[in-house]
Amino acid sequence: MTAQTIPAGGLLQITARAKPGAAPSATLTLPFELRRRSRLRAALDDGREAALFLPRGQYLRHGDRLLAEDGTVVQIRAADELCSVARTDDAWLFARACYHLGNRHVPLQVGEGWLRYLHDHVLDEMVSALGLEIAEEKSPFEPEAGAYPAGAHAHGADLVQGTAHVH
């Protein structure tokens, strides 16, 4: 997979989101940082070159489906990335870690008793010093979408596009 700034021409032009339930005929696997971009040149998983020209202010989530100008439906896949996972059974420590990471605008994926962020040894040291156990893992990174859906779209009741940080 490659990504760079796009000069268009001869590429599969992806310009919109597909209708819900549209059957995908191609996939595009991207790390979180590239799923945040609205202008992108990339290689589909089958090797075809594509250019994304999407509305600004939204990011792509695993499972999203996009529509190319030629009618191709492309499903987004979240790439495995090196992440740090912090765990604790102590709700107070967990809340403090989320607060301090959110105060630094760190995108977080939050689960019951665990939180995940893109690996950063400085953040690992801070979270560890707060009392959480840290482990590294390669996994898809799907941070919280944010609490303010203004200008965003939703699919289903559980996914809202927007700012990707927690306070």
The CATH class for the domain spanning 3-78 reads: mainly beta
**Mean of the pLDDT values across residues 153-167?**
35
- Please state, in angstroms and as integers, the Cα–Cα distance from residue 135 to each residue in 39, 64, 131, 140, 149, following that order: 33, 29, 13, 15, 32
Burial 127-144 (b: 16+ CB within 10 A, else e): beebebebeeeeebbbbb
- Per-residue confidence (pLDDT) for residue 152, from 0 to 100: 44
Residue extents of the structural domains in the chain? 3-78, 80-167
Cβ–Cβ under 8 Å, residues 73 and 67: yes
- List 134's β-bridge partners, or say none: 86
Give a three-class secondary structure readout of 121-164.
HHHHHHHHHCCCEEEEEEEECCCCCCCCCCCCCEECCCEECCCC
- Per-residue confidence (pLDDT) for residue 9, from 0 to 100: 54
Please determine, for residue 28, whether its predicted confidence score (pLDDT) is greater than 50: yes
Please determine, for residue 159, whether its predicted confidence score (pLDDT) is greater than 60: no
Cα separation, 145 vs 90, whole angstroms: 24
CATH of region 80-167 = 3.30.70.790
Indicate if 80-167 has the same CATH topology as 3-78: no
pLDDT tens digits, one per residue of 97-149: 999 999 999 999 999 999 999 999 999 999 999 999 999 999 999 998 876 55
Whole-prediction pTM: 0.76
Cα separation, 41 vs 67, whole angstroms: 15
Residue 68 in 3-state DSSP?
strand
pLDDT tens digits, one per residue of 29-87: 999 999 999 999 999 999 999 999 999 888 899 999 999 999 999 999 999 999 999 99
